[in-house]
Amino acid sequence: MADIPLDGTEITLIKALGIGSSAMSGKDLRTKCGNMQLAEMMSTLQGLMSVGFIEADKDDFDSDNFDKIKFMVNTGYAKELKEALDPAPAKSNKSERVRRE
């Protein structure tokens, strides 16, 4: 398993889409990420799509048709993305067994 480095905007979009959720329209995504600029959102989504983390029913979109596009998290990366969003603490090599006396 490889670590997936995500920036704040990528994390916001992936959390808004929801891992394992159904497709979400661009309009609903804009509503969930209300304070994010559309240009920044589109650029980040295109980057996530280029590496396969996000899927859309259309690869080519602009500000005119963005609201109608359906986006979703690629289920093939769901486990890795979930771990990247909420990393588990590193396990120590110490044994958890306790010696009884």
* 47 assigned to some structural domain: yes
Q: Which residues contact 94 (CB under 8 A, 6 or more apart)?
A: none
* 70 assigned to some structural domain: yes
* 65 assigned to some structural domain: yes
* 34 assigned to some structural domain: yes
Total number of domains constituting the chain: 1
* 90 assigned to some structural domain: no
pLDDT in tens, the chain (101 residues): 457 888 999 999 999 999 888 999 999 999 999 889 999 999 999 999 999 999 999 888 888 999 999 999 999 998 899 888 887 665 655 666 777 76
* 29 assigned to some structural domain: yes
CATH number at 70 reads: 1.10.10.10
The domain in which residue 80 lies consists of 8-85
Model confidence, pTM: 0.79
* 3 assigned to some structural domain: no
* 100 assigned to some structural domain: no
